Amino acid sequence: MGPSMGEGAIEVRCECGARLAAPEGTAGRPLRCPRCGRTIPEAAESLSGSPTDLGSGTVEGAAINLGDWDPESAPLDADVIGAAAFQAYRAGRFATAIAHLARYFARTHREAEGRTWLARARLLASLEPELPPGDLARLLQANPRTLAAVDPSDRSRVERALGAWKEKHPDDTTPPLPW
């Protein structure tokens, strides 16, 4: 940052490598990187280490909750949206996951890969115990590739969902699964 860094400013480094000067009065407020456009949330407050130890204020594995995030007023980096999407997916919050997955794969120009993940999330979101037997059979018959491609944790989710469905429909037969 050199000579342009003002008195009392805190040096912050963006993920893209750009170095920014966060004025002392901006502690706790987000900064926008002029090089890549990323938002560095609460950068001035969270980075209290020296400029050579900029990673000291970060927390890996923290929960990402976008809550009432408005994409029009505060666009987020695709990586943040992707992390929130997959976190929601693994937590079983499929409506949230579907919305974030669609944004993430569109922003990263990976729509083909996104179709696979969206199909999995939609299928898992649809497996409700209240689903009538005919609708369940049609849902599973309509998604053979999606079912065949699920990983072991999603297989377990499907099996648990079908177990819950069977409890609500003890006289009906559960459709067969491809595994």
* Ordered per-residue pLDDT tens for the chain, 179 residues: 444 445 556 667 776 777 777 666 665 667 777 777 777 765 444 444 333 333 333 333 445 555 565 655 555 678 888 899 999 999 999 999 999 999 899 888 888 999 999 999 999 999 999 999 999 999 999 999 999 999 999 999 999 999 999 999 999 999 999 88
Question: What pLDDT is stored for residue 27 in this prediction?
Answer: 58
Question: What pLDDT is stored for residue 44 in this prediction?
Answer: 40
Question: What pLDDT is stored for residue 4 in this prediction?
Answer: 47
Distance CA 178, CA 153 (A): 15
Nearest residue to 9 via CA among 30, 24, 28: 24
Q: Do the beta carbons of residue 5 and residue 11 sit within 8 Å?
A: yes
Question: What pLDDT is stored for residue 66 in this prediction?
Answer: 58
Question: What pLDDT is stored for residue 36 in this prediction?
Answer: 74
- 31 phi, psi to nearest 5 deg: -115, 150
Burial zone of 89 (CB within 10 Å; 0-12 exposed, 13-18 middle, 19+ buried): buried
Question: What pLDDT is stored for residue 60 in this prediction?
Answer: 36
Nearest residue to 127 via CA among 151, 103, 146: 146
